[in-house]
Amino acid sequence: MLLVVEQFLNGLQLGLLLFLLAAGLTLVFGIMDLVNLAHGSLYMMGAYFAATFVAWTGSFLGGIALALGATLLLGIVLEFVALRHLYGRDHLDHVLATFGLILFFNDAVRLIWGPAGLALPLPPWLTVPIQIVPGVFYPAYRLAIIVVALAVALMLYLVVMRTRLGMLIRAGASNREMIGALGINIKLLYTLVFGLGAALAGLAGLMQAPILTVQIGMGENILILAFVIIVIGGIGSIRGAFVASILVGMIDTLGRAFLPDLLRKILSSAAASTAAPALSSMLIYLLMAIVLVVRPEGLFPANRR
């Protein structure tokens, strides 16, 4: 029973982390109609900035704050220099150009930081396990991820639902031409949205960095998951991204945790331990396929015309 609680937390933590990545992706895709494959590169840059700044400043929180700012800035510059010229063009152009950006960022990182990768060590107060209920100890850092990601989700909700900027974002997701026609500075809005998306991706990357290593191409695997999430959740919908992220995180973790034992009941032990990882990594794609059949618009489609 205690194990179930712990695996549940593991799933929640993965889901929330994926949400940070997917939220930025879905905003950019939904509002700007831009397919941004380089979103994973921003995730990677967030991690590299954090590892560098934490080493420079010697302070974990200070380094992370600097890294967030740097990723936000990088996002804005990237939008200004490269992506601005892609609006209104075919999706294939977006895919080609942003795939090029992935290669650019990977090689830029190789040139600046070298091929070996970096480590982002945690301060001691984050490395201790915390007792959450009697008998269940959970890594403090993973708890911190859950708390930060929930706070960011709440903040996003408030910004999108309660502020003027949020109203524009929602209007942009519903009808792009109309808000332009109403005299809104759509260029500025796009730059802001892209910067916000970049900062969210950077936050996901730098929070993942102490758990994983900081390395070239780290954003590519996880980007696929983020795309699956926005397809499941409904493109352009932050609420959809939230629900789908938690779903995917839970299914992935609980599948890995409990599928081998379930399979062992029907298969031989050796066959089960081989089949289970393969099967559990398929589960989320199965979910996506089912959602696409039953609700092709996703679970919570943004209203668009």
Partner 1 sequence: MKSAFWLAGAAVLALANPAVAADSIKIGFVSTFSGPTAVIGNDMRNSFELALDHLGRKMGGLPVEVIYEDDQQKPDVGKQKVEKLVQSDKVDFIAGFIWSNVLLASLKTAVDSKTFLISANAGPSQLAGDLCSPYVFSTSWQNDQTPAAMGLYMNQKGVKSVFLIGPNYAAGKDMLAGVKSTFKGEVVGEEYTVWPSQLDFSAELSKAKASKAESIFVFYPGAAGVQFLNQYAQAGIKQQIPLYTAFTIDELSLPLQKDNAIGVPGAQEWVNDLPNEENKRYVADYRKKYTGLRPTYYGAQAYDAAQLINSAVVAVKGDTSKKDEMKAEMEKANFKSLRGPFKYGNNHLPIQNFYLQDVVKDADGALALKTVATIVKDDQDRFHDKCPMK
Chain residues that interact with partner 1, rule: CB under 8 A? 2-3, 6-7, 10, 13-14, 115-119, 121-122, 127-129, 137, 139-142, 210-213, 215-218, 221, 253-254, 256-257, 260, 269, 273-274, 276-278, 280-281
The least distance separating partner 1 from the CB of residue 84, rounded to whole angstroms, comes to: 31
The least distance separating partner 1 from the CB of residue 22, rounded to whole angstroms, comes to: 16
State the Cα–Cα distance between residues 231 and 287, nearest whole angstrom. 11
Q: Which helix (H) or strand (E) holds 131?
A: strand 129-133
The least distance separating partner 1 from the CB of residue 41, rounded to whole angstroms, comes to: 15
Rank residues 61 and 119 by Cβ distance to partner 1 and give the closer one.
119
State the Cα–Cα distance between residues 31 and 19, nearest whole angstrom. 17
Listed in sequence order, the residues at least 6 apart from 107 whose beta carbon sits closer than 8 Å to its beta carbon are: none
Rank residues 121 and 296 by Cβ distance to partner 1 and give the closer one.
121
User: How deeply is 103 buried, as exposed, middle or buried, from its count of CB atoms within 10 A (0-12, 13-18, 19+)?
Assistant: exposed
User: In sequence order, what DSSP letters do the residues of 186-225 get, joined into one string?
Assistant: HHHHHHHHHHHHHHHHHHHHHHHTTTS-B-TTHHHHHHHH
Rank residues 8 and 87 by Cβ distance to partner 1 and give the closer one.
8
The least distance separating partner 1 from the CB of residue 211, rounded to whole angstroms, comes to: 6
State the Cα–Cα distance between residues 84 and 61, nearest whole angstrom. 33
The least distance separating partner 1 from the CB of residue 8, rounded to whole angstroms, comes to: 10
The least distance separating partner 1 from the CB of residue 240, rounded to whole angstroms, comes to: 24
Q: Which residue has the tokens 């990882």?
A: 277
Rounded to the nearest 5°, which phi and psi values hold at 296? -60, -20
Rank residues 122 and 267 by Cβ distance to partner 1 and give the closer one.
122
- Give CA separation, 105 vs 67, 268, 276, in Å: 16, 46, 35
Q: Identify the bridge partners of residue 214 per DSSP, sorted by sequence position.
A: 118
The least distance separating partner 1 from the CB of residue 104, rounded to whole angstroms, comes to: 15
Rank residues 178 and 224 by Cβ distance to partner 1 and give the closer one.
224
The least distance separating partner 1 from the CB of residue 252, rounded to whole angstroms, comes to: 9
Rank residues 118 and 179 by Cβ distance to partner 1 and give the closer one.
118
The least distance separating partner 1 from the CB of residue 127, rounded to whole angstroms, comes to: 6
User: In sequence order, what DSSP letters do the residues of 244-279 get, joined into one string?
Assistant: HHHHHHHHHHHHHHHHHHHHHHHS-HHHHHHHHHHH
User: In sequence order, what DSSP letters do the residues of 4-19 get, joined into one string?
Assistant: HHHHHHHHHHHHHHHH
Rank residues 192 and 209 by Cβ distance to partner 1 and give the closer one.
209
Cβ neighbours of 86 (radius 10 Å)? 20
Rank residues 130 and 178 by Cβ distance to partner 1 and give the closer one.
130
Rank residues 216 and 238 by Cβ distance to partner 1 and give the closer one.
216
